[in-house]
């Protein structure tokens, strides 16, 4: 079979283990961690689905090796707690039975202990240990580890690796990046020691070499050991790429592969986890440069999910392996699709951070576009419906398309009707914003899936009760979406006003000076996009904050981008009227002023198509209302409701 992506599909041997392709599953924290720090029952499905999807390996994260000096609520492994080793064994079995190699990340947070604790008072009460005495950026004191403690930690890495191998893991990753303990020793910014563990690079490498030696002694020859490191810390005072190359060269003799990431905790979350505002593969250059200085294989990571780009990375010699974290959450089947020459079916990660934002809010896992994430054990083996039914889906936005595809997968006869001449719904508007193009492509991908799954699609067909009856639909899913909210301001219907959802249609009409009315997520993203294009942009919001509807991971990055791009922000202002020369606005004190603009973009929100919904509530024996038709919210809500509505039929 001739491969469309031959480099991605090529096996690679590390140590004495051969991996089936070059697409590896990056370390991701467990879905559920029990009170005794074991893997909970949901975690097995969480890791297993990516193994079943074709990844060459799946990495379980993070296994804390020395709880006495790292009290984060992360995974522990030991023999003292009944069932703890068994929980790791079940997960390793679940990964390996699908042909993937189970790997485990060995970690120590150092002075960032407690990072994942929701109880910040408990976090403040922890001892924070690091290479040197000091104070963290958030004010918590840090104590220097003694020589005896360092020796204990080094030994603990080996003990944890040995137990992981006993549990069935076939590879281990030693985490020495992102500002965690081993990175703190490598970094001149963190490490101010004057003993054999500080100062010259040889000394700063010492603890990492001791750890790798301890791990090797525990797992034996041929067992793959991988080192994860930041190619550069990318903050003032941290080590640069040149130093990163020297670090890699100083450690390569002890590892089977170098895994090159970027950045440091609290100094660059958006560097380590590239957001939608930067190019895909923004960190690949670090791996590419380090690869020139070492002889062992090198892996790269960071916002990768496009098969063509990943193929080029390997074909051009920039890296030997590509790691995906968020990419395999969005589409666990991506490696299988690539191996089967179905790369055009891959669903790309939106880099929206829903997956990371959910952890600190609810302690669960969620993905905006994959409703199975964190719920894999509930859905992995769902089969065909007991009886095939005629299902009519009203609306061809993302909620309706997800519902239609899922219903078709379960063997139902599905008809999807869309009132307009195009599928995609509100996702069509995202094609006008380059950094949100992946969201537009998601709609395109689902449109192709509808055809592949045999769903009958009728465009320019509004659904009413008569149509439902004439089609003999036994189940009706109402996904008719929403309309833009347009405030009744004088002049709002003028030629200098564009509704944000229609921006992609009228981009050529946007002038140099722009006022965006509405500072929610949609308005902020629109303002940022227009500013990136070089326009003078003023963002107007009635409330006292911007983007309260953005998730807690994405919001600070978005706000920082708005500031970096010098978008003028006006809070506490109400639109009064649109005039030919701009927006007349009023503050809380009743004072009015004109905000000059050639173009006003209206981005104040969405409203459900309630009249259409009400007319369909009793149109079939079984009716479900989903997505914006139920209540305007997020793409996450639309995808989840569409998926689970179809499972209920």
Say yes or no: 374 and 397 in one domain: no
Q: Looking at 569, 584, 604, which one is the last position of a domain?
A: 604
Contact between residue 172 and residue 225 where contact means Cβ atoms under 8 Å apart = yes
The answer, yes or no, to whether residue 125 has pLDDT greater than 70, is: no
The answer, yes or no, to whether residue 542 has pLDDT greater than 90, is: yes
Q: For residue 150, what is the enclosing H or E element?
A: helix 147-167
Q: What percent of the chain has pLDDT over 70?
A: 98
Residue 74's pLDDT band (boundaries 50, 70, 90)?
confident
**For 13-25, how does the pLDDT look when each residue is reduced to its tens digit (9 = 90+)?**
999 999 999 999 9
Contact between residue 594 and residue 582 where contact means Cβ atoms under 8 Å apart = yes
**For 428-437, how does the pLDDT look when each residue is reduced to its tens digit (9 = 90+)?**
999 989 999 9
Computed from CA positions of residues 642, 646, 647, 649, in that sequence, does the dihedral angle turn out positive or negative? positive
Whole-number pLDDT of residue 282: 96
Give the pLDDT mean for 225-249. 97
Whole-number pLDDT of residue 570: 98
Range of the domain at 462: 383-483+608-647
Whether 231 maps to a domain, the answer reads: yes
Q: For residue 483, what is the enclosing H or E element?
A: strand 482-484
Whole-number pLDDT of residue 606: 97
Give the count of alpha carbons within 13 A of 53, CB side only.
28
Collect all residues with Cβ–Cβ distance below 8 Å to 362 and sequence separation of at least 6: none
The answer, yes or no, to whether residue 117 has pLDDT greater than 70, is: no
Whether 216 maps to a domain, the answer reads: yes
Q: Looking at 360, 378, 396, which one is the last position of a domain?
A: 378
Question: Domain holding 545: CATH number?
Answer: 3.50.50.60
The answer, yes or no, to whether residue 1 has pLDDT greater than 70, is: yes
The number of domains in the chain is 3
Give the pLDDT mean for 572-586. 97
Beta bridge partners of 142: 128, 134
Phi and psi at residue 182, to the nearest 5°? -65, -35
Q: Looking at 355, 378, 401, which one is the last position of a domain?
A: 378
Say yes or no: 189 and 234 in one domain: yes
Cα–Cα separations (whole angstroms), residue 488 to 196, 291, 518, 555, 567? 72, 60, 14, 29, 26
Whole-number pLDDT of residue 140: 85
Whether 616 maps to a domain, the answer reads: yes
Give the pLDDT mean for 330-340. 98
Whether 492 maps to a domain, the answer reads: no
The answer, yes or no, to whether residue 360 has pLDDT greater than 90, is: no
Computed from CA positions of residues 47, 48, 54, 57, in that sequence, does the dihedral angle turn out positive or negative? positive
Residue 522's pLDDT band (boundaries 50, 70, 90)?
very high
The answer, yes or no, to whether residue 591 has pLDDT greater than 70, is: yes
Distance (Å, whole) CA 524 – CA 518: 8
**For 162-201, how does the pLDDT look when each residue is reduced to its tens digit (9 = 90+)?**
999 999 999 999 999 999 999 999 999 999 999 999 999 9
Q: CA angle 19-25-26, nearest 5°?
A: 125
**For 204-220, how does the pLDDT look when each residue is reduced to its tens digit (9 = 90+)?**
999 999 999 999 999 99
Question: Domain holding 613: CATH number?
Answer: 3.40.50.720
Residue 443's pLDDT band (boundaries 50, 70, 90)?
very high
580 alpha-carbon distance from chain centroid: 42
Whether 45 maps to a domain, the answer reads: yes
Give the pLDDT mean for 272-281. 95
**For 302-315, how does the pLDDT look when each residue is reduced to its tens digit (9 = 90+)?**
999 999 999 999 99
The answer, yes or no, to whether residue 263 has pLDDT greater than 80, is: yes
Say yes or no: 27 and 169 in one domain: yes
Residue 383's pLDDT band (boundaries 50, 70, 90)?
confident
Whole-number pLDDT of residue 508: 95
Collect all residues with Cβ–Cβ distance below 8 Å to 91 and sequence separation of at least 6: 39, 43, 44, 47, 48, 60, 102
Say yes or no: 440 and 506 in one domain: no
CB count within 10 Å of CB 549 equals: 14
Residue 116's pLDDT band (boundaries 50, 70, 90)?
low
**For 485-514, how does the pLDDT look when each residue is reduced to its tens digit (9 = 90+)?**
999 999 999 999 999 999 999 999 999 999
| pTM recorded for the entire structure | 0.94
Say yes or no: 160 and 83 in one domain: yes
Whether 88 maps to a domain, the answer reads: yes
Whether 491 maps to a domain, the answer reads: no
Whole-number pLDDT of residue 115: 67
Say yes or no: 189 and 45 in one domain: yes
Say yes or no: 512 and 408 in one domain: no
Say yes or no: 212 and 165 in one domain: yes
**Chain-wide mean pLDDT for the chain?**
95
Question: Domain holding 277: CATH number?
Answer: 3.20.20.70
Whole-number pLDDT of residue 361: 86
The answer, yes or no, to whether residue 403 has pLDDT greater than 90, is: yes
**For 36-49, how does the pLDDT look when each residue is reduced to its tens digit (9 = 90+)?**
999 998 999 999 99
Say yes or no: 428 and 559 in one domain: no
Say yes or no: 576 and 616 in one domain: no
The answer, yes or no, to whether residue 121 has pLDDT greater than 70, is: no
Residue 120's pLDDT band (boundaries 50, 70, 90)?
low
Whole-number pLDDT of residue 285: 98
Helix (H, G, I), strand (E, B) or coil at 61: strand
Say yes or no: 552 and 441 in one domain: no
Whole-number pLDDT of residue 119: 64
Q: Output 254 or 118, whichever has higher pLDDT.
A: 254
| E-strand stretches of 221-315 | 225-230, 257-261, 298-300
**For 606-622, how does the pLDDT look when each residue is reduced to its tens digit (9 = 90+)?**
999 999 999 999 999 99
The answer, yes or no, to whether residue 402 has pLDDT greater than 80, is: yes
Say yes or no: 405 and 345 in one domain: no
Whole-number pLDDT of residue 286: 98
Whether 488 maps to a domain, the answer reads: no
Phi-psi region of 76 (alpha: psi -120 to 50; beta: other; left: phi over 0): beta
């Amino acid at each position: 079979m001739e491969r469309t992506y031959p480099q991605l599909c090529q096996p690679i041997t590390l140590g004495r283990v051969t991996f089936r392709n070059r697409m590896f599953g990056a370390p991701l924290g467990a879905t559920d961690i029990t009170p005794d720090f074991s893997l909970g029952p949901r975690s097995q499905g969480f890791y297993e689905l990516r193994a079943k999807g074709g990844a060459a390996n799946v990495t379980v994260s993070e296994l804390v090796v020395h709880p006495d000096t790292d009290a984060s609520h992360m995974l522990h492994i030991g023999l003292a707690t009944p069932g703890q080793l068994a929980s790791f064994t079940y997960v390793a079995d679940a990964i390996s039975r699908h042909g993937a190699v189970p790997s485990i990340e060995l970690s120590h947070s150092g002075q960032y202990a407690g990072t994942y604790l929701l109880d910040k008072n408990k976090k403040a009460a922890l001892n924070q240990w690091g290479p040197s005495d000091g104070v963290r950026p958030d004010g918590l004191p840090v104590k220097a580890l003694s020589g005896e403690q360092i020796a204990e930690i080094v030994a603990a890495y080996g003990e944890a690796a040995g137990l992981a191998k006993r549990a069935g893991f076939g590879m281990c990753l030693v985490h020495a990046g992102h500002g965690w303990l081993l990175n703190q020793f490598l970094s001149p910014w963190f490490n101010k020691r004057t003993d054999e563990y500080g100062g010259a690079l040889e000394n700063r490498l010492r603890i990492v070499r001791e750890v790798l030696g301890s791990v090797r002694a525990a797992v034996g020859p041929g067992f793959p050991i991988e080192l994860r490191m930041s190619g550069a810390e990318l903050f003032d005072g941290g080590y640069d790429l040149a130093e990163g190359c020297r670090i890699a060269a100083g450690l390569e003799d002890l590892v089977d592969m170098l895994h090159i990431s970027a950045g440091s905790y609290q100094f660059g979350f958006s560097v380590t986890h590239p957001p939608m505002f930067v190019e895909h593969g923004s960190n690949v250059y670090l791996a590419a440069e380090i690869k020139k200085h070492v002889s062992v294989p090198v892996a790269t990571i960071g916002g990768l999910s496009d098969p063509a780009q990943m193929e080029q990375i390997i074909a051009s010699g920039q890296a030997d392996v590509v790691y995906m974290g968020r990419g395999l959450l969005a589409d666990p089947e991506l490696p299988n699709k690539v191996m089967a020459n179905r790369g055009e079916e891959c669903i790309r990660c939106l880099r929206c951070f829903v997956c990371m934002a959910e952890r600190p809010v609810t302690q669960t896992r969620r993905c905006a576009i994959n409703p199975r994430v964190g719920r894999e054990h509930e859905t992995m083996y769902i089969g065909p419906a007991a009886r095939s039914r005629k299902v009519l889906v009203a609306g061809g936005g993302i909620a309706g398309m997800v519902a239609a595809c899922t219903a078709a997968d379960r063997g139902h006869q599905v008809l999807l009707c869309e009132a307009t001449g195009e599928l995609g719904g509100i996702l069509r508007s995202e094609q006008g914003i380059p950094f949100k193009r992946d969201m537009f492509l998601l709609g395109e991908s689902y449109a192709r899936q509808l055809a592949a799954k045999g769903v009958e699609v009728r465009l320019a067909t509004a659904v009413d009760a008569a149509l439902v009856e004439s089609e003999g639909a036994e189940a009706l899913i109402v996904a008719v979406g929403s309309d833009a909210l347009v405030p009744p301001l004088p002049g709002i219907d003028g030629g200098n006003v564009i509704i944000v959802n229609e921006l992609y249609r009228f981009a050529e009409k946007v002038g140099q000076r722009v006022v965006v009315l509405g500072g929610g997520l949609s308005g902020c993203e629109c303002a940022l996009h227009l500013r990136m294009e070089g326009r003078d942009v003023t963002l107007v919001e009635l409330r006292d904050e911007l983007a309260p509807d953005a998730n807690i991971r994405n919001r600070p990055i978005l706000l920082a981008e708005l500031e970096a791009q010098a978008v003028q922000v006006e809070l506490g202002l109400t639109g009064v009227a649109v005039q030919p020369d701009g927006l007349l606005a009023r503050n809380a004190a009743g004072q009015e002023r004109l905000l000059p603009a050639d173009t006003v973009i209206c981005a104040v929100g969405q409203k459900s198509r309630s009249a259409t919904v009400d007319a369909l509530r009793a149109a079939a024996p079984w009716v479900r209302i989903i997505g914006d038709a139920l209540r305007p919210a997020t793409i996450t809500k639309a995808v989840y409701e569409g998926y689970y509505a179809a499972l209920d039929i």
